[in-house]
Structures are given as C-alpha cells and as structure tokens.
C-alpha cells in the first residue's frame, strides 16, 4: 500500500478543512469520486485569464479552455461581478414563474440564430435530448422517429446521447442502445440520401466535429442537407455545443462556413443545441427551435428544475455583452489564423510526428501521423493522450480528440503573445519527439 493510500484510509470519514489538514486531493478522488475520467496528474487551485495554477504555484497556459467552455478565460471580472450582483437578487426560481434574465437571454439567442424560440437546460447533453424529443414529437403522428447522425460525431453521455454518437467506444458496456439512431459518413450527402427510410424524421450533425477530430462541414454538404430535409419533410438539427458561440469567428459554425457562399443566405436549421461557452464556465445549455416548430413542445412535454435560472442567465448575458463589446469574434479569427499558421509550420518542420493542421477560428486540430514510435511506449494510452500528457508536463494544456488528434480550444480573448507562447511550448515538446 502506498503512502497516499495509507493517508486516504487513515482519514476515511474525516473532514478535510484545508490542504494541510486532511488527505491529499488525489486521495480524496481515489476514495470518493467515481473513476469515470482518466485524470491527468495535476491539481489546479486557481485561474487567471488564459492561465491555470496548480497546488505548487506552477503556471500553465490553457489552450483547452475547459473543452471550449471558458469563453473569457478564468476569473474574468465581469463574470465575477455578474455572479455577485445576481446572487444578491435571485439565484433560483421555479420555471412555473417568469424571470427577466431568462426572457432577455432567449431574445438575444433568437436574434443571433433566427426566428424561433429557446428552451434552457444545464448542458449540451440535455440540449441534444431536447432536440431528440422535438424530432419524435414532429414525426409521431406519421410513425417516424429515426434520426440520422454521422460517424465520429459526439452528442453527449446520456443513453440517447451515446446512441446518437457515431463512435463505438462510448457505447461499449451500455447496450442495447436507444432505438432510432443510425450513422452515416460525415460530409457525404449521398450517404444521407441512401440511408433515408420511411421512419426517418431528422438529420443531426455538428458544423465542426470536435471529439471526432476537428472535421469541418463543407458548404455543399450543409446546403445539400437543407434541400434534402425540405424535400423529405425532415428536421435538420445541428449540435453547436462545442463549435458554436463565436468559436469559429461567428456566433454559430454554419454562419462562418457559409460566409459568401452563393445560395446560402436563406440557410437555417430547424433546431440547434448550445451549451459550453454559453455561460463562460457557469453551467447552462439551451436549444433553439425554428419558428415553424417552436410550439411543438407544449406545457408538460418537457421540463427541467435548474434550466434557465436567473443566475445562469444573468451570467450568460454578461458573457455575451463582453464577447460582443470587445469584438472577440473577429479576435478569434485573427488569433486563430496566427495559431493555424504556426501549427502548419510545425507540421512542415516535424513531418515524422505531425500529419496536418486544420480548423476554423479558435477550434483547431493537430493531426498526428498514424505511427509515432516515440508516442507509443505507454500501454493503453493513445498517441494523442501521450502527447497531451507531455505538453501538460511542459506547462501547456490541450485536449485530445480520438487517438491521433489534439485540439486547441482556448478562450476567445486569448492574446497573440499567449498564442505564440503556446506554439513555442508545442515546438519544444515536438523537438523532443522529432
């Protein structure tokens, strides 16, 4: 038994009032937290801007952004003030009643998305669940219930979410899946058309696949899906949980992908899931429904205890005010271009390790070569996970995607000097590998 285990056992049941008066944080996790995450060996105690600090005071540059959540970085003063201000007024109120922040936030999301209405929840998984129910309600009278999604997609960790997700690894051990989901190749319109059946009611895609490796939908694919859905009376649903909220340089990813594309002016999905950066780190999710279907889910058909609380909505409104007031959409494009150019330079300099770099705005992916001997020495750990650990040790936080891609999903206000620092830390680690 290790010293850590002895300490954890010796203090079992005791209260830990401070870092020095009880078991270590890792021991607490080992004994009391369900081990659903392969956590990296660091304990963070505070954050400031695009940096996090561990229990020893070491500083790390955060280019993972809490997996595309921390739109304004850590401890942004405007968010702190909004939390304090609203907490003094009203934290929670049942959705049996009206509160001003929820109505205001719904209006702001509708203005930036399109004519329709919004339902508030707490996470991206819940937002997608709402879209699944919307689709079922839409097709119920005709007996249609099937939703087509894509391979390498990711739509949450609920039972319906993993059933919708086009990755076998998230399904293992939880079979049988929720019926009504089938998968087709991404960016392949013909595959969608071939897969249609009398039971099909909707198509659900991500504008940019995040967990799948930062794969960007083509304009022709988006426009073709809209035509196909119109022709077959299907709902076109988009999961913008990770790729939305200005991450690509526009509010929602399709708005960036279709910029300047002929015939794209009238493009609009029928339902959109949002979360992650919407609250800048405070939990909130939402789904938007196009006006033609906005009243399908009536009283009693869907609900949530904590969705759209005054506190969550007030913080989200403040995040939106800062993002737009400081021009962070344009900033995300500019810094994203700097980062992407730097990543492409690294690909050219380390061809034995890196295969490609891609993405839009501040949603970027770095693809590893299929075989990287220096990243394959740890059993049970993918090359992307191994590189992520090495970068952590060098003071840089990134997010793995699958087995061979690392993602950069930093704060929308990441500075140019911070972006260059991140590239330098990447270079230093890759030099050890290459």
pLDDT tens digits along 360-415: 999 999 999 999 888 887 777 899 999 999 999 999 999 999 999 999 999 999 99
What would the two tokens of residue 183 be?
């998968």
Residues 106 and 181 in one domain: yes
The C-alpha atoms of residue 402 and residue 169 are separated, in whole angstroms, by 10
pLDDT of residue 233: 98
Domain boundary among 276, 310, 325: 325
- List all residues 6 or more positions away from 86 whose beta carbon is below 8 Å from its beta carbon: 101, 310, 311, 314, 315
Q: What is the mean pLDDT of residues 192-202?
A: 98
pLDDT of residue 7: 38
CATH number at residue 413: 3.90.1150.10
Q: What is the mean pLDDT of residues 138-146?
A: 98
Q: What are φ and ψ of residue 47, in 5° steps?
A: -140, 155
The C-alpha atoms of residue 4 and residue 412 are separated, in whole angstroms, by 39
- List all residues 6 or more positions away from 181 whose beta carbon is below 8 Å from its beta carbon: 146, 147, 148, 149, 160, 163, 164
Q: Return the percentage of the chain with pLDDT > 70, whole number.
A: 94
If we measure between CA atoms, which residue out of 373, 433, 358, 365 comes closest to residue 399? 365
- In which region does residue 306 sit, left (phi positive, over 0), alpha (psi from -120 to 50) or beta (all else)? alpha
User: Which residues have a catalytic role annotated?
Assistant: 154, 239, 276
Number of domains in the chain: 2
Residues 313 and 227 in one domain: yes
Domain span at 208? 77-325
The string of pLDDT tens digits covering residues 62-87 is: 999 999 999 999 999 999 999 999 99
Q: Is the dihedral of CA 312, 314, 316, 318 positive or negative?
A: negative
Q: How much of the chain is in helix, strand and coil states, percent to nearest 5?
A: 40, 20, 40
The C-alpha atoms of residue 370 and residue 417 are separated, in whole angstroms, by 32
Answer whether residue 27 is part of any domain. Answer: no
Residues 199 and 289 in one domain: yes
Residues 321 and 336 in one domain: no
pLDDT at 2 over 50: no
CATH number at residue 135: 3.40.640.10
pLDDT at 10 over 60: no
What would the two tokens of residue 388 be?
């992520």
118 SS3 class: strand
358 SS3 class: strand
Answer whether residue 24 is part of any domain. Answer: no
């Amino acid at each position: 038994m290790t010293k850590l285990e002895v300490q954890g056992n010796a203090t079992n049941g005791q209260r830990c009032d401070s870092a020095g008066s009880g078991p270590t944080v890792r021991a607490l996790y080992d004994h009391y937290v369900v081990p659903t995450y392969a956590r990296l060996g660091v304990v963070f105690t505070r954050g400031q801007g695009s940096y996090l600090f561990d229990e020893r005071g070491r500083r790390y540059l955060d280019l993972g952004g809490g997996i595309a959540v921390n739109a304004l970085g850590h401890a942004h003063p405007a968010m702190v003030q909004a939390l304090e201000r609203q907490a003094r007024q009203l934290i929670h109120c049942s959705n049996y009643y009206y509160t001003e922040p929820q109505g205001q936030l719904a209006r702001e999301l509708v203005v930036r998305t399109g004519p329709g209405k919004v339902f508030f929840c707490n996470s991206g998984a819940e937002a997608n669940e709402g879209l699944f129910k919307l689709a079922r309600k839409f097709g119920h009278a005709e007996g249609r219930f099937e939703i087509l999604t894509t391979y390498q997609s990711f739509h949450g960790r609920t039972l319906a979410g993993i059933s919708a997700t086009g990755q076998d690894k998230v399904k293992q051990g939880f079979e049988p899946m929720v019926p009504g989901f089938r998968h087709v190749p991404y960016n392949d319109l013909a595959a969608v058309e071939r897969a249609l059946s009398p039971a099909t009611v909707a198509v659900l895609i991500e504008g940019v696949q995040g967990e799948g490796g930062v794969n960007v939908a083509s304009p022709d694919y988006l426009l073709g899906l809209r035509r196909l859905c119109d022709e077959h009376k299907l709902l076109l649903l988009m999961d913008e949980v990770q790729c939305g909220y200005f991450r690509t340089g526009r509010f929602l990813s399709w708005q960036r992908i279709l910029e300047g594309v002929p015939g794209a002016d009238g493009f609009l999905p029928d339902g959109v899931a949002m979360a992650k950066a919407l609250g800048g780190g405070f939990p909130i999710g939402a789904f938007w429904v196009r006006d033609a279907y906005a009243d399908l889910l009536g009283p009693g058909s869907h609900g949530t205890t904590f969705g759209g609380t005054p506190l969550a909505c007030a913080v989200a409104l403040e995040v939106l005010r800062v993002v737009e007031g400081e021009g962070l959409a344009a900033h995300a494009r500019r810094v994203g271009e700097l980062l992407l150019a730097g990543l492409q330079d690294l690909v050219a300099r380390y061809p034995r390790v890196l295969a490609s770099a891609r993405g839009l705005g501040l949603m970027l992916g770095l693809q590893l070569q299929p075989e990287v001997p220096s990243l394959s020495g740890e059993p049970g750990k993918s090359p992307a996970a191994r590189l992520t650990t090495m970068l952590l040790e060098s003071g840089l936080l990134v997010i793995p995607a699958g087995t061979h891609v690392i993602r950069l999903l930093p704060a929308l206000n990441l500075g140019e000097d911070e972006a260059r620092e991140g590239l330098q830390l990447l270079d230093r680690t890759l030099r050890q590998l290459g």
